[in-house]
């Protein structure tokens, strides 16, 4: 167990979190849902107390990563004043055990303590910390939430899959290319993948349908090992990953036919947000190291992204670690993300993919700013 000397947040950082609802894996045949800000009662009350709150914090604890953004409103936009990201692999081993391991929780707590310190030093007075699939599924989730609150002062809000999809849309729909008809947004996470069909013809995007499947880069990698030195074994593992995603998305694919019966003509739009699409974009651009300013907002031909997927799927683990923008941290996970991406491209065969290095954190920031009557409308500037 960890020691008791961890730094805790002070009164400058205000927690507005609540513990979330049970997981929602899918929302079949949903009616259209207007995408609007729906602040929690705690947020509304706190915003009334802090009429001039200058700094907001948004933390996203996923199955693989812990990410923090701290920003201030700037006109119709917001400016990021601090950011943090660390791979913590909170969901490592959960496919087999159903529990978060002590080592995984310790890694997450180390990262969260850094986030707590940043929230305090940046004098954040309104913040929200959301946790997703690993915390939704873990049998020892409540034990972990209590440890986080006790050791760091951060109160995790374990959100449903539905809210996860909604926040991802709020965070990145501005990166979608202009066009007619519905568009598809996807977020390949560590423990789950969300796909959302959007109508962006109005002032605010409208969710026409959505699905969350329990396959992300961590869960797929643990279910189908791709670390063999044998090329045939790697090919079989990749095919098995794709089959799992294909089966999980079958109902969603059938449901969206009535929204876009001509989707196979290719004149449709596709937007991706996640480490998978940003990593593939980095490889396509030939970057020596990851550069958000060059990746975020790219529009890349789907055929070029598929080429990168096939290339990575055929490589050994040791070769993957040598590639720029992948390295040891992502080498054993990136191929699983490629499998999910290819299946998404099969059900939504757009000619190109918009790439967004933004998502849940930006969605949380926009939600809080709207609750505080500050309405950023354009893309964030980092």
Q: Summarize pLDDT for 304-332 with one digit per residue, the tens.
A: 999 999 999 999 999 999 998 898 888 98
pLDDT of residue 20: 33
Comparison of pLDDT for 40 and 343, the residue scoring more: 343
pLDDT of residue 328: 84
| Sheet hosting strand 65-74, strand order edge to edge | 77-87, 65-74, 56-61, 126-131, 156-158
pTM of the model: 0.81
Nearest-angstrom CA–CA distance, 157 and 382: 25
Nearest-angstrom CA–CA distance, 311 and 320: 10
- Confidence class of residue 267 from pLDDT cuts 50, 70 and 90? confident
Q: Summarize pLDDT for 62-71 with one digit per residue, the tens.
A: 999 999 999 9
pLDDT of residue 10: 36
Any idea how long the chain is? 382
Residues 140/93, Cβ–Cβ less than 8 Å: no
Q: Summarize pLDDT for 117-150 with one digit per residue, the tens.
A: 999 999 998 999 999 999 999 999 999 999 999 9
Residue range(s) in the chain whose domain bears CATH number 3.30.420.150: 175-356
Nearest-angstrom CA–CA distance, 166 and 191: 17
- The values of phi and psi at residue 353, to 5°, are -125, 125
Q: Which CATH superfamily is domain 175-356 in?
A: Exopolyphosphatase. Domain 2 (3.30.420.150)
| Sheet hosting strand 193-199, strand order edge to edge | 33-34, 206-213, 193-199, 183-188, 269-273, 352-356, 299-301
Q: What percent of the chain has pLDDT over 70?
A: 83
Nearest-angstrom CA–CA distance, 173 and 200: 8
Strands 33-34 and 206-213: antiparallel
Q: Summarize pLDDT for 350-382 with one digit per residue, the tens.
A: 999 999 999 999 999 998 888 876 445 554 444
Residue range(s) in the chain whose domain bears CATH number 3.30.420.40: 33-163+360-371
Q: First and final CA of the chain: distance in angstroms?
A: 37
Q: Which CATH superfamily is domain 33-163+360-371 in?
A: ATPase, nucleotide binding domain (3.30.420.40)
Distances (CA, A) of 111 to 68, 87, 94, 119, 139: 10, 9, 19, 13, 22
Nearest-angstrom CA–CA distance, 340 and 5: 41
C-alpha radius of gyration, the chain, whole number: 20
pLDDT of residue 43: 40
Phi-psi region of 200 (alpha: psi -120 to 50; beta: other; left: phi over 0): alpha
Comparison of pLDDT for 182 and 227, the residue scoring more: 182
Q: What percent of the chain has pLDDT over 90?
A: 68
Phi-psi region of 80 (alpha: psi -120 to 50; beta: other; left: phi over 0): beta
pLDDT of residue 373: 62
- The values of phi and psi at residue 220, to 5°, are -65, -40
- Residue 58 Cα to chain centre, angstroms: 13
């Amino acid at each position: 167990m960890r020691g008791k000397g961890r730094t805790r947040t002070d009164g400058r950082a205000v927690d507005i979190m609540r513990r979330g609802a049970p997981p929602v894996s899918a929302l079949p045949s949903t009616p259209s849902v207007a995408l609007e800000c729906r602040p929690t009662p705690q947020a509304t009350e706190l915003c009334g107390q802090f009429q001039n709150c200058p700094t907001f914090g948004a933390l996203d604890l996923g199955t693989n990563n812990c990410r923090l953004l701290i920003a201030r409103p700037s006109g119709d936009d917001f400016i990021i004043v601090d950011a943090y990201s660390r791979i913590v692999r909170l969901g490592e081993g959960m496919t087999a055990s159903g529990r978060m391991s002590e080592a995984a929780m310790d890694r997450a707590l180390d990262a969260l303590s850094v986030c707590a310190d940043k929230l305090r030093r940046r004098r954040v007075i309104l913040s929200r910390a959301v946790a997703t699939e690993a915390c939704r599924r873990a049998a020892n989730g409540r034990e972990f939430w209590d440890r986080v609150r006790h050791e760091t002062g951060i109160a995790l809000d374990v959100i449903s899959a539905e809210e996860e999809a909604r926040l991802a849309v709020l965070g990145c729909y501005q990166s979608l290319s202009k066009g007619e008809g519905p568009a598809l947004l996807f977020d390949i996470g560590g423990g789950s993948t969300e796909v959302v069909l959007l109508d962006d013809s109005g002032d605010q995007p409208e969710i026409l349908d959505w699905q969350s499947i329990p396959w992300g880069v961590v869960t797929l990698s643990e279910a189908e090992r791709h670390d063999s030195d044998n090329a045939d074994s790697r090919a079989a593992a990749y095919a098995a990953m794709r089959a799992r995603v294909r089966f999980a998305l079958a109902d969603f694919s059938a449901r969206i036919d009535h929204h876009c019966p001509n989707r196979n003509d290719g004149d449709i739009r596709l937007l991706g947000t996640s480490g998978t699409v940003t990593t593939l974009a980095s490889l396509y651009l030939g970057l020596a190291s990851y550069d958000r300013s060059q990746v975020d907002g790219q529009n890349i031909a789907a055929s070029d992204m598929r080429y990168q997927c096939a290339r990575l799927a055929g490589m050994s683990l040791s070769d993957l670690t040598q590639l720029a923008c992948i390295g040891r941290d992502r080498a054993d996970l990136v191929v699983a993300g490629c499998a999910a991406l290819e299946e998404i491209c099969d059900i939504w065969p757009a000619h190109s993919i918009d790439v967004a290095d933004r998502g849940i954190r930006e969605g949380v920031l926009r939600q809080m700013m709207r609750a505080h009557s500050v309405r950023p409308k354009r893309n964030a500037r980092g």
